[in-house]
Structure 1
Amino acid sequence: MTKFKFCTGVIWYNPDKNAVKRIKILSEVFEKVFVYDNSENSNYNKVAQFDNVQYLFNGKNEGISIAFNKIARLAEKFDFLFALDQDTEIKGYQIIKLKEYIEKYFDPQIGIYCPNIYFKEKKSYKEEVSVVPFTITSCSMLSLKIFRQISGYDEKIFLDGVDWDYCIRLRIAGYFIKRINSIEVKQNLGFGFKNLFGIYEHSAARNYYIRYNRLYLINKFPDYFYGWKKIKHLYLANVKQVLSVIFFEKDKMMKLKMIKKANKDYECSTEK
């Protein structure tokens, strides 16, 4: 008999066939699967056959913070929420292994248990388990007790920076993130390869959110982003973003316009 109750929440945005196939896997290893669809058109027919899947749809893209917060409120009888996006290639046995680890080695000070996420190449570690300062949102096994205690995800952040914000607040509150290195999970990226600046190409809208949310986080956590860390994330990161667009990317003028707009919009928001 298990000690804890686990559920999962998946965020969709115009899901492809692979995203739909993964719902079957999730429905077999979780008591409850919440699918929050940020698409403009409903995809309910793709999950209607699963009895333990609850489909949530609002006809617009609300980002991931609002979506996961709503899922967490619906998951009141559960202890852990496994957060996923539609680009993560995770297998059923990997999820079971993660759940078994939590059952065996549960620590009330751990706010997130996560696998060893990789993008292009696997990175091996000598230690079976590591305490880490950060993990991405997808594949985060969130302690819902702690999630509610620190007020969930910041709904002012639409996409980029959601994970940084939550991990920082988690650690400020005295909790930790534990990575199980033997569970290796691939995260797909829909924007090609890194260029010479180490940046993946993004859409103009994504460039806007990257810049805006970076400014927001740096000013939200002045005790975390200070000294060299502030210089790196505030100034050097912005230079890299702009140079990446100028030298390597398509739609240069639109992307530069959106980065400039992000700067202006953030300045206006701080003046209110």
Structure 2
Amino acid sequence: MTTGVVVILFNPDVEHVNALINAFTAPEWNIVLVDNSFERTQYSASRNVTYIHCSSNVGIAQAQNIGLKRLFDNDVEHAFLLDQDSLFSPDIAHELLRQFLQLEKEHSIAAIGPSIYCQFSECVDKGVLQKGKQVSNTLKEVKQIIASGMLISRYAFNKVGGKESKLFIDGVDHEWCWRARAKGMVIYQSLSACMPHRQGDDRVKVCGVTFKQGAPVRLYYQFRNVLILARRRYVPLYWKVRHVCAIPLRYIVNRYCFTQGKERGRFMREGIKDGFLHRTGPLGVKGKGKQR
């Protein structure tokens, strides 16, 4: 059985991507690289690798759709989604696939992902407000998982639909999980497969509270998409309350406590404005779509 692996790229570390390709050279893997970088990049030559270049940067959601569709249209039944810096191995993949195949015999499963070992806190992330419901020694049912390491099936992709390209980047993985749950499907996180992962570029403590620090432009999508998703019925109430109420605090910290504060403030204000106006798509593109 062939299993797909979709890796989304944007100005990546070529050496790391080549190492990932080389780890999945066995015939059982079919790899699709979807590159949102402006310039094409050469990677390790391998028969099982397809390279798709999107020089206009279609966003992470559409890039994932492109990669998944390429695999599922070629009769691949299951596929992993990875970020360009994912520390993902065949051992993790095999364990997740084993669990998925067992679960889909008994449940309408939408996706499964690994436990996440946070490289900043150096411990396994157990969630702040949503810790999930443990259903066995090796599994828990959760409301959402991140895209990196996510395993989905062709059946689930067809039933739930693709990732929402209008969101462009932030909130894409969670939105898909919530939409799947609204359709009666279940999301799982493995307790027996764990993946190291970094979210954001850094962690900064302000008054004893730890904040993620990323590129200033990401704040535009984070603030905008929170306001867009908070209007939807299928989005969990705890998520709406937590993220909408955090907007003033996040604005103050990013504007006055982080570097590039003025630039961060500009992106946050633009994101808040476009969130209220239901504007979607990439920042700065004329005729951005309006969320209905």
Q: Same fold (TM over 0.5)?
A: yes
The whole-number CA distance in structure 1 between the counterparts of 2:76 and 2:109 is 16
Instruction: Deviation per CA, 1:227-261: give whole Å up to 9, x if none.
Output: x6543321x22022112213421111111111111
CA distance in 2, matches of 1:131, 1:78: 25
Q: Which residue of 1 aligns with 2:36?
A: 38
Note the alpha carbon deviations across 1:144-191, whole angstroms, 9 max, x for none. 211121211111111110011111101100011111201111012451
CA distance in 1, matches of 2:149, 2:8: 12
Separation (CA, whole Å) in 1 of partners of 2:30 and 2:257: 43
| Unaligned ranges ≥5, structure 1 | none
Q: CA RMSD in A?
A: 2.3
Residue 11 in structure 1 maps to residue 8 in structure 2: yes
- Call closer, same or farther: CA 1:139–1:29 in 2, change over 3 Å: farther
Residue matched to 1:51: 47
Partner of 1:193, secondary structure, is strand
1:204 equivalent to 2:212? Answer no
User: Counterpart of 1:113 in 2: which secondary structure?
Assistant: strand
Instruction: Name structure 2 gaps, 5 residues minimum.
Output: 127-133, 280-288
Output aligned runs, 1:1-272, within 5 Å. 2=1, 5-16=2-13, 17-28=15-26, 30-43=28-41, 45-47=42-44, 49-75=45-71, 76=73, 77-107=75-105, 108-120=107-119, 121-123=122-124, 127-196=137-206, 197-219=209-231, 221-222=232-233, 224=235, 226=237, 230-234=240-244, 236-269=245-278
SS of aligned partner of 2:59: coil
Q: Say if 1:229 and 1:122 are closer, same or farther in 2 by CA, change over 3 A.
A: closer
Distance 2:191 2:243 in 1: 27
Give the C-alpha shift of residue 60 in structure 1.
2.6
> What is the CA deviation profile of residues 56-103 of structure 1, one whole-angstrom value per residue up to 9, with x for unaligned ones?
002132111101111222122111110000121112222122223333
Contact 1:195 1:248 in 2 (8 A): no
Residues 19 and 81 (structure 1 numbering): CA distance in 2 closer, same or farther, change over 3 Å?
A: same
Classify the secondary structure of the residue corresponding to 1:181: strand
Q: Is the 8 A contact 2:182 2:234 kept in 1?
A: no
Instruction: Return closer, same or farther for 1:229/1:181 CA change in 2, 3 Å cut-off.
Output: closer
Give the TM-score, by structure 2 length. Answer: 0.83
Give the deviation of 1:207 after TM superposition: 0.6
SS of the aligned residue for 1:245 comes to helix
Indicate conservation of the 8 Å contact 2:6/2:31, yes or no. yes
Retained in 2: the 8 A contact 1:29–1:95?
no
Shift of the alpha carbon at 1:105?
A: 4.2
Task: Decide whether the 8 Å contact of 1:29 with 1:96 is kept in 2.
Answer: no
Count matched residues.
Answer: 264
What is the deviation of 1:19?
A: 2.4
The alpha-carbon deviation at position 223 of structure 1 amounts to 5.2
The verdict on how the C-alpha distance between 1:252 and 1:79 changes in structure 2, with shifts beyond 3 A counting, is: same
Change (3 A) 1:223 1:154: closer
Cα distance in 1 for residues equivalent to 2:29 and 2:240: 43
- Tell me the TM-score normalised to structure 1 length: 0.88
**Which one has a larger percent helix, Structure 1 or Structure 2?**
1
Distance 1:80 1:223 in 2: 25
Residues 243, 29 of structure 1: CA spacing in aligned structure 2 closer, same or farther, 3 A cutoff? Answer: farther
Change (3 A) 1:223 1:134: closer
Cα distance in structure 2, aligned partners of 1:30 and 1:248: 49
